[in-house]
Every structure is written in C-alpha cells, then in structure tokens.
C-alpha cells in the first residue's frame, strides 16, 4: 500500500570466537590462535571471515597470554565491533561460551555464531549458508559439519530424519559411531535466547570433566527444540592444528589454495616450490612467478611481469611488465616496465619509475628513481630524489647520514654520475650535470657542469723496481721459480 510506513527490524548477529587455548604441543608462549597461517594469525582468518559475512558484533574469548590477544586486536583495523571476554580457567568449550554471556545478553534478538579461533578456513559462504539454513528450519541450534575421510578426534554427528540427535565426542563413541564421517566443525548457529537458556544447564559429567558446548544440543532437544546440521561445501572448514606439523599442514593447504586461485586467473607458475603468496595479494594476468618467491601483505603485482627466483615482495605495488630477479621489496613502488635485479633491495618508501633499470647489488631507500634512469651496479641511493634518464656509474654512494641526521640528495634529469662518486648530502646535482669518477661531491653542481674532485695523477718513473725485486724473491720462495 502506498504511503504505508514500513518498519523493518533487523536481528543482531552475535559472534563468539573461542580463543582461550594455549596449544601446549606447539611449544610457544603465544596464544594458539595467534600462530600464523600464510603470514596471518589464525584468529585473523576467522575474524575476517566474520567481516566478509557481514556479522554485527564479535566477542573473542581469550585465556592464555590474553594481553597478546588485546594487543593484536587493538592494532587491527576492524570493520566489525569486537570486544573480548576472559576465560580465566580452561574448563571446556561450553565454559568458554559462558564467559561471553554478558555480551550475548546485550542483544538477544537474533542468532549467535560460535567459532573456533584455531580453525582458520571457515569462510563467509559457509557462515551465510548455515545461517540461512538455520533460519529456514527454525532450529534452536544448527551445527556446521563436514564430511572427511579421517574423522578421528572430531565429534561425530548423529543424524535423525528431522535434524540431529546429538554430537558424540571421539572418546565416547561406540565402534559403530566411530565410523561416522560427518563431523562437528566446532562452528554453530544458535538462536541467542536458546543458547542463553541451555548454557546454565551444562554439567561437567564427562570423561574430561569439562563443560562441553556440544551438550547444548541434547539440552535443547529435551526442551522440545529442534537441532539441525548444515554440511559445508568447504572440506577444510573444521581443520585446525594441534602441533607444529599440523600448523605446517595448514600452511601448505593455504599456500596451495592461493596459488590455485591465481592459476585460474591466468598467472603462470613454472614450479611452485617455495612459492607463497598472501591472501591479500593480487597478481595480474600473464605474470610469471618463479620458484622461491614470497609475496606478502597487501602487495599488488601488475600484468605480464616476471617475478624471478628468490624475490620477496612485501606491501609493495608493482606495475605492468616489470622484471624482478632476486629482489627484496618492502613498502616500495615499482612502475611499468622497470627491470630490477639481481640482488637488489628496495627499502620502504622507494619509488622506481617507469622503465628504470636497477642492477646488481643496489640498495634504494626512501628515494625516487626517475623514468628510464639506470642504477646498474653496486650503488646505494638513500633519501634521494633522482630525475629521469640519469646514469649512475658503478659504486656510487649517497652519503646521507652524518651520524646524527639524515639529509637528502637531489639529482636532475639527464645527469651523469661517474663511477665511485660520493654524493655528500645535502647536495643538489643540476639537470644534465656530470660528476667525474671517484669524486666526493660536497657542493651543489650547477646544471650542465662537470664537477671533478680528485688530485691530478702523478707519474713517478722507475718507482717499482726495488719493491718488485723483494716481492719476486718472496714469491719464488713460496711457489718456486715457474
């Protein structure tokens, strides 16, 4: 009806992430959820899945070394409201959720998602799909499950015609139940009100003397509620790690997942040994990535590049048609068709412009290298603004630090810096200026001029005779008269 006031009420989706574990077998003093998979803490994977799924509010239940969790969360730029609850004693998954009761009571209108902070491969599609299923079936609880070949260690799903009758932990399974391959991923959707009703009824009457969150299912069924299961299409949804081997296995899975994605996008890999590409990295079509390449953080790689063996690229933006060979780049920018390497380090805030060529054993720091400029060998360029089509001879050094302060060097377009020039900054080299090889330049050089700073060469005839005789005798003594 036209003109009618339509008021829609949106239910709030709460998320509780269980992150109290220590992971004793990891032999670390970090909370287990902060151990990394593909360069990101496992907790980061889980929280970002919640963000991608459009969740409203998140409570992380922390325990072991909880300050580290606080530190991590406060450094994070979160799109979702995140807070924490402390589980001082580790008394089981049900007990962990109990610590979030105050958080849950703040908004009981909708549903609550429970996730394990140490199962990094949960995905937004599973979260949304399970919620849809949960709402459609009017269940009080919906367990996210997956079917796996080796279900050992996981809780088994007991299906009925109309949902599920419970979850049986490995330790409590009969021989027959142990054969069930559908397992509890540790991820659940609860109607928030139903969860709050069930939690106070959890008991520690089991083999491990813990409050099992899984017991909520039977409690809710006994109240006449419905319990259901949603099988995720993501086979990795339940995977976690209990020890270092397990963590390495997760890294291998994640590594392959990302490489497979880029293969589908037209990126070329010849051999993926030692290749690891972070989840947030993007790579353009036609780019070839050789073995032992690590690309991390928020790096962006353009099209038709060659990222040669041994490159490490972190938080850097690489244009199209760039050729990198044994380059380490950290927070740097490289524009189209630049050619860099081998054995080059681009340190933070370096910008190598279009078509520039940086050769072997060169370090660039906090500097701009202009278009088509060549810095071919054994050179350090720090805190400098270099114009276009400049040529650096071998062994040039910008002397940018006097032990206290750093100073800038500027070099104009088309300048020619002779081999082994020291540019003692602050110093300006004008457009098209030259510096003679071996000069230590301490004063500005005007455009078009040549600056030469070295003593004139002297010749002392016959100087070597006496010295050479002594040296020859020593040589004959050591190596014979050959």
Q: How far is the CB of 42 from ligand UD1 (least distance, A)?
A: 9
Binding mask of the shown chain, residues 197 to 236, with x at each position contacting Ca ion by CB under 5 A: ----------------------------------------
- Contact status: 188 vs ligand UD1 (CB under 6 A): no
Taking CB within 5 to 8 Å according to partner kind, which of Ca ion, ligand UD1, none is near residue 393?
none
Q: How, if at all, do strands 434-435 and 288-289 pair?
A: unpaired
Evaluate whether 208 touches 214 at the Cβ level (below 8 Å).
no
Residues 230-259 that bind Ca ion (CB under 5 A): 240
Taking CB within 5 to 8 Å according to partner kind, which of Ca ion, ligand UD1, none is near residue 262?
none
Taking CB within 5 to 8 Å according to partner kind, which of ligand UD1, Ca ion, none is near residue 18?
ligand UD1
List 87, 232, 337, 400, residue binding ligand UD1 (CB under 6 A): 87
- Contact status: 214 vs ligand UD1 (CB under 6 A): yes
Q: Within 10 A of 372 (CB to CB), how many other CB atoms are there? A: 18
Taking CB within 5 to 8 Å according to partner kind, which of ligand UD1, Ca ion, none is near residue 341?
none
Read off the tokens for 253: 């899975």
Q: Within 10 A of 170 (CB to CB), how many other CB atoms are there? A: 14
Cβ closest to Ca ion, residue 240 vs residue 387? 240
Residues 136-175 that bind ligand UD1 (CB under 6 A): 154-155, 167, 169
**Cα 248 vs. chain centroid, distance in angstroms?**
15
Give me the residue label for tokens 């015609």.
161
Read off the tokens for 356: 């520039």
Q: How, if at all, do strands 182-191 and 111-116 pair?
A: antiparallel
Taking CB within 5 to 8 Å according to partner kind, which of Ca ion, ligand UD1, none is near residue 184?
ligand UD1
d(CA 96, CA 92): 6
Taking CB within 5 to 8 Å according to partner kind, which of ligand UD1, Ca ion, none is near residue 85?
none
- Contact status: 238 vs ligand UD1 (CB under 6 A): yes
Taking CB within 5 to 8 Å according to partner kind, which of Ca ion, ligand UD1, none is near residue 167?
ligand UD1
**Cα 228 vs. chain centroid, distance in angstroms?**
36
3-state SS class at 204:
coil
Q: How far is the CB of 175 from ligand UD1 (least distance, A)?
A: 18
Helix (H) or strand (E) holding 306: strand 306-307
Q: Which residue is nearest to ligand UD1 (CB)?
A: 155
- Contact status: 240 vs ligand UD1 (CB under 6 A): yes
Taking CB within 5 to 8 Å according to partner kind, which of ligand UD1, Ca ion, none is near residue 227?
none
205 CB-near residues (< 8 Å, 6+ apart): none
DSSP state of 104: H
Q: Within 10 A of 396 (CB to CB), how many other CB atoms are there? A: 25
Evaluate whether 296 touches 39 at the Cβ level (below 8 Å).
yes
Q: How far is the CB of 18 from Ca ion (least distance, A)?
A: 10
Q: How far is the CB of 215 from ligand UD1 (least distance, A)?
A: 8
Evaluate whether 331 touches 313 at the Cβ level (below 8 Å).
no
Q: How far is the CB of 17 from ligand UD1 (least distance, A)?
A: 8
Active site residue 351: no
Cβ closest to ligand UD1, residue 219 vs residue 293? 219
Binding mask of the shown chain, residues 269 to 288, with x at each position contacting ligand UD1 by CB under 6 A: --------------------
> Using CB under 6 A, which of the segments 114-122, 192-200, 385-393, 433-441 binds ligand UD1?
114-122
Read off the tokens for 346: 């681009």
Cβ closest to ligand UD1, residue 181 vs residue 294? 181
Which of 95, 133, 377, 479 is an active site residue? 377
Cβ closest to ligand UD1, residue 21 vs residue 387? 21
> Using CB under 6 A, which of the segments 210-218, 380-388, 423-431, 460-468 binds ligand UD1?
210-218
11 CB-near residues (< 8 Å, 6+ apart): 109, 110, 111
List 14, 16, 21, 416, residue binding ligand UD1 (CB under 6 A): 21
- Contact status: 91 vs ligand UD1 (CB under 6 A): yes
Compute CA distances 414 → 84, 169, 390, 396, 435, whole Å. Answer: 58, 74, 5, 16, 12
Q: Provide the residue count of the chain.
A: 482
d(CA 65, CA 105): 26
Cβ closest to Ca ion, residue 31 vs residue 240? 240
d(CA 400, CA 407): 5
Can you list the positions of beta strands (E) in 30-162? 36-37, 40-41, 57-62, 81-86, 111-116, 141-147, 156-160
Give me the residue label for tokens 């380059």.
327
Q: Which residues bind ligand UD1 (CB under 6 A)?
A: 18-21, 61, 63, 87, 90-93, 95-96, 116-118, 154-155, 167, 169, 183-186, 212-214, 238, 240
Which residues are marked as active site?
A: 377
Q: Which residues bind Ca ion (CB under 5 A)?
A: 240
């Amino acid at each position: 009806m036209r003109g009618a006031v339509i008021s829609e009420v949106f239910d709030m989706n709460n998320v509780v992430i269980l992150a109290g574990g220590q992971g004793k077998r990891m032999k670390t003093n970090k909370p287990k959820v902060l151990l990394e998979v593909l360069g990101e803490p496992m907790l980061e994977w889980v929280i970002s899945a919640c963000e991608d799924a459009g969740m409203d509010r998140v409570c992380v239940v922390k325990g072991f070394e909880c300050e580290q969790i606080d530190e991590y969360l406060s450094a994070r730029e979160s799109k979702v409201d995140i807070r924490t609850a402390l589980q001082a004693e580790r008394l089981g998954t049900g007990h962990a959720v109990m610590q979030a009761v105050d958080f849950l009571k703040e908004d009981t209108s909708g549903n609550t998602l429970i996730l394990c902070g140490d199962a990094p491969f949960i995905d937004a599609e599973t979260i949304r799909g399970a919620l849809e299923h949960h709402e459609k079936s009017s269940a009080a609880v919906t367990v996210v499950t997956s079917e796996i070949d080796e279900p050992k260690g996981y809780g088994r799903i007991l299906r009925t015609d109309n949902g599920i009758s419970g979850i049986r932990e490995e330790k409590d399974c009969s021989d027959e139940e142990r054969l069930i391959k559908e397992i509890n991923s540790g991820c659940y959707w609860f109607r928030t009100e139903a969860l709050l009703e069930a939690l106070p009824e959890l008991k520690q009457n089991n083999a491990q003397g813990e409050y099992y969150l899984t017991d909520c299912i039977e409690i809710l069924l006994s109240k006449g509620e419905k319990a259901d299961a949603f099988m995720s299409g993501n086979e990795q949804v339940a995977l976690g790690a209990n020890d270092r081997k397990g963590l390495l296995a997760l890294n291998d899975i994640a590594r392959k997942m990302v490489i497979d994605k880029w293969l589908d996008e037209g990126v070329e890999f010849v051999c993926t040994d030692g290749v690891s590409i972070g989840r947030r990295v993007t790579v353009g079509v036609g780019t070839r990535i050789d073995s032992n390449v690590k690309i991390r953080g928020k790096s962006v790689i353009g099209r038709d590049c060659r990222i040669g063996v041994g490159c490490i690229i972190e938080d850097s933006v690489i244009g199209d048609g760039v050729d990198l060979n044994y380059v380490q780049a950290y927070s740097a920018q490289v524009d189209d068709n630049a050619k860099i390497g081998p054995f080059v380090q681009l340190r933070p805030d370096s910008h190598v412009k279009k078509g520039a060529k940086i050769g072997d054993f060169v370090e660039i720091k906090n500097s701009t290298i202009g278009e088509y400029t060549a810095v071919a060998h054994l050179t350090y360029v720090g805190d400098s603004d270099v114009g276009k089509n400049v040529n650096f001879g071998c062994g040039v050094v910008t002397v940018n630090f006097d032990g206290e302060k750093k100073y800038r060097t500027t070099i104009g377009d088309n300048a020619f810096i002779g081999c082994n020039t020291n540019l003692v900054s602050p110093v300006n080299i004008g457009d098209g200026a030259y510096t003679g090889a071996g000069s230590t330049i301490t004063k500005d050089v005007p455009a078009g001029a040549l600056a030469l700073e070295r003593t004139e060469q002297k010749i002392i005839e016959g100087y070597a005779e006496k010295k050479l005789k002594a040296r020859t005798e020593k040589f004959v003594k050591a190596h014979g008269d050959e």
